[in-house]
Amino acid sequence: MTGVGEQVVRTARGWIGTPYRHQASCKGAGTDCLGLLRGVWREVLGEEPESVPAYTMDWAEPTRDEILWRTAARHLRRAPLDDEQPGDVLLFRMRTGAVAKHLGISGQVRPRASFIHAYSGHAVVESPLSTPWRRRIVARFRFPEEI
């Protein structure tokens, strides 16, 4: 693990324990999964590339708009699903047929794969990337080397 990926993992682990707060992005005070990604971006790369409009907990499920996927593709580098690297941004589809609306950051890769994320009812945690989670991954991205 070198370069930006190492910085991303180290920075994301610094957010562990931050309570879940919808639409927040403040280390130690509150964050959601997007807020975690935004906070890591700020610490590693500086200013966020675009402002984030208000969003609901259901994201764009009623309209089936893959807004999170498109936004990630604008600012992150797409990586093959089978090319696992620490620091990768993982995009999850929580239910079959639903829009992708959960993000995590790869902490370790196989054999003890893990990811760092925040989700409703929990603080930021590093969870095992178990089979049920792995099945939900629909895209893998990497932070840019520089902006």
C-alpha angle with apex 140: 41 to 123, nearest 5 degrees?
55
The percentage of the chain sitting over the pLDDT mark of 90, rounded to a whole number, equals 80
**Which residues partner with 142 through β-bridges?**
77
Give one word for 121, left, alpha or beta, with left for phi > 0 and alpha for psi -120 to 50: left
Residue 119 tokens, joined: 């989700």
Residue 41's pLDDT is 98
Give the residue, 36 or 56, on which the prediction is more confident.
36
Contacts (Cβ under 8 Å, ≥6 apart) of 100: 66, 68, 69, 91, 92, 93, 138, 139
Domain covering 3-142 assigned CATH 3.90.1720.10 in the classification: yes
Contacts (Cβ under 8 Å, ≥6 apart) of 112: 128
pLDDT higher than threshold 70 for residue 147: no
**For the whole model, what pTM was predicted?**
0.94
Query: How confident is the model over 45-88, as pLDDT tens digits?
Result: 999 999 988 887 776 777 788 999 999 999 999 999 999 999 99
Per domain, the residue ranges of the chain are 3-142
Residue 91 tokens, joined: 């995009």
